[in-house]
């Protein structure tokens, strides 16, 4: 069983903090769609298994696609893949696109889970981020999705925005909880290179995120989730029982997936592939029947490191036995570092074999992973 990711590389506006691959030139949408349908054909043999458990439309902004365009993608996929065991078809959408008519259209496709890029319900924060939607549209998008039968909803939030208070973040969480949303993702604002935000900070126009505020908001988030029945099952993801994301969980558990569209990544169980992050070159290569990707064969150390990095982010933690089955030579160093992290209160032993991040450890997840990883 495998997953399929489809990258839709267009956005109506550029958010100040974003470094994903997208273009605001929607004139190339037809060209993109044409190439995407052809890429599905060209890479039909990539996955060993044609049984698909999840499909995920990410971006960019998948909600720039019309119902007809989406149906043409499903139709092409169905020529090569078996959807009988499909557990989830997720679709990222911006609130300003989720009008009643558009949601009704989505209801006539196989999409059964909407991932709504709310980020915040606060008007000033949305303007600061240069989002294409406003607070009213954020509320309306959720109401429309619930009205037209989308039971599986997830919402994205961003915290740690400079100058914004804990109370404002609490209001965002309260809104989600009151709507009865079963899954949400919350990300700390990070300043990525080459973004408008990075440029403004460099010029002194904006302040960088305050680490103390971000830490305080993450602590608040963990308490809020626990007190309101959300399981903190991955460092940035929270779900009510039985509502974890199927597709994203596949990434964290090393299940193979095919990524289609510019900048999409794929994994076949042993190698990683990434498509070119340029819409025009992607189109040109596909038109010439060339695959638009590069490949990296994962060494045993790479596989060990990936297991540590993704496993630690999950509530299940890492299994020493599993880690050492990938790279047994790591034994002495791994056990010594784990012992030290345990003493420092950053890791906790769940069973004799399993280790999980403690609450303090969750604040330092990247550092702990780096300490446990091996050098190639």
The rounded distance, in Å, linking the Cα atoms of 223 and 138 is 25
60 vs 317 by CB, closer to ligand SF4? 60
User: What is the rounded distance in angstroms from the CA atom of residue 4 to the CA atom of residue 19?
Assistant: 22
Region from 18-26, 31-39, 147-155, 252-260 binding ligand SF4, contact rule CB under 6 A? 18-26
Shortest Cβ 190–ligand SF4 spacing (Å): 12
Q: Which stretch binds ligand SF4 (CB under 6 A): 11-19, 73-81, 283-291, 359-367?
A: 11-19
Return d(Cα 26, Cα 229) in angstroms, integer: 41
Tell me the closest approach of the beta carbon of residue 21 to ligand SF4, in angstroms.
8
From the CB of residue 337, how many other CB atoms can be counted at a distance below 10 Å? 16
CB 90 within 8 A of CB 245: yes
Q: Which is nearer to ligand SF4, 130 or 310 (CB)?
A: 130
First-last CA distance in the chain: 30
Q: State the Cα–Cα distance between residues 68 and 54, nearest whole angstrom.
A: 21
3-state secondary structure string, 208-234? Answer: CCCHHHHHHHHHHHHHHHHHCCCEEEE
**What character string, x for contact with ligand SF4 (CB under 6 A) and - otherwise, covers 114-153?**
---x------------------------------------
Task: Tell me how far, at minimum, the Cβ of 24 lies from ligand SF4, in Å.
Answer: 8
CB atoms under 10 Å from CB of 202, counted, come to 11
Residues 331-370 that bind ligand SF4 (CB under 6 A): none
By CB under 6 A, what part of segment 86-115 binds ligand SF4?
94
Selected binder of ligand SF4 within 4, 15, 89, 357 (CB under 6 A): 15
Nearer to ligand SF4, 117 or 361 (CB): 117
Give the span between the Cα atoms of 360 and 211, in whole angstroms: 15
CA distances from residue 56 to 131, 251, 300, 335 in whole angstroms, order as listed: 22, 12, 28, 37
Minimum separation from the CB atom of position 287 to ligand SF4 (A): 25
Q: Is 62 in the site for ligand SF4 (CB under 6 A)?
A: no
Contacts of 34 (CB under 8 A, 6+ apart): 283
List phi, psi (to 5°) of 139.
-65, -45
Residue 22 lies near ligand SF4 (rule: CB under 6 A): yes
Cβ-based nearer residue to ligand SF4, 158 or 323:
158
196 contributes a contact to ligand SF4 by CB under 6 A: no
Q: How far is the CB of 130 from ligand SF4 (least distance, A)?
A: 8
Residues near ligand SF4 (CB under 6 A) are 11, 14-15, 18, 20, 22, 59-61, 94, 117
């Amino acid at each position: 069983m495998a997953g399929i990711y489809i990258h839709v590389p267009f956005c109506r506006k550029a958010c100040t903090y974003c470094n994903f691959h997208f273009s605001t030139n929607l004139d190339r949408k037809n060209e993109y769609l044409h190439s995407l349908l052809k890429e599905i054909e060209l890479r039909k043999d990539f996955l060993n298994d044609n049984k698909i458990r999840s499909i995920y439309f990410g971006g960019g902004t998948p909600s720039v696609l019309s119902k007809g365009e989406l149906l043409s993608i499903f139709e092409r996929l169905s020529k090569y893949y078996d959807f009988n065991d499909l557990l989830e078809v997720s679709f990222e959408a911006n609130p300003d696109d989720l009008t009643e008519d558009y949601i009704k259209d989505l209801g006539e496709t196989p999409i059964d889970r909407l991932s709504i890029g709310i980020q915040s319900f606060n008007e000033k924060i949305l303007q600061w981020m240069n989002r294409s939607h406003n607070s009213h549209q954020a509320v309306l998008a959720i109401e429309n999705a619930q009205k037209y039968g989308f039971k599986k909803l997830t919402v994205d939030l961003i915290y740690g925005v400079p100058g914004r208070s804990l109370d404002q973040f609490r209001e965002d969480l309260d809104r989600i909880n009151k709507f009865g949303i079963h899954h949400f993702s919350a990300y700390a604002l990070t300043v990525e290179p080459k973004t408008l935000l990075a440029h403004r900070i460099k010029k002194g126009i904006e302040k960088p995120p305050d680490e103390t505020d971000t830490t305080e908001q993450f602590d608040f988030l963990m308490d809020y989730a626990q007190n309101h029945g959300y399981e903190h099952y991955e460092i940035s993801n929270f779900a009510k029982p039985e509502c974890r994301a199927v597709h994203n969980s596949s990434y964290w558990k090393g299940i193979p997936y095919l990524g289609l569209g510019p900048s999409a990544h794929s994994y076949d169980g042993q190698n990683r592939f990434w498509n070119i992050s340029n819409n025009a070159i992607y189109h040109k290569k596909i038109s010439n029947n060339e695959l638009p990707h590069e490949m990296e064969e994962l060494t045993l150390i790479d596989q060990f490191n990936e297991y540590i990095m993704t496993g630690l982010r999950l509530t299940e933690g890492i299994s020493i036995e599993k880690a050492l089955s990938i790279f047994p030579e790591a034994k002495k160093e791994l056990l010594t570092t784990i012992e030290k992290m345990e003493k420092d209160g950053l890791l906790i032993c769940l069973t004799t074999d399993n280790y999980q991040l403690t609450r303090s450890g969750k604040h330092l997840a990247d550092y702990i992973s780096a300490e446990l990883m091996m050098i190639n």
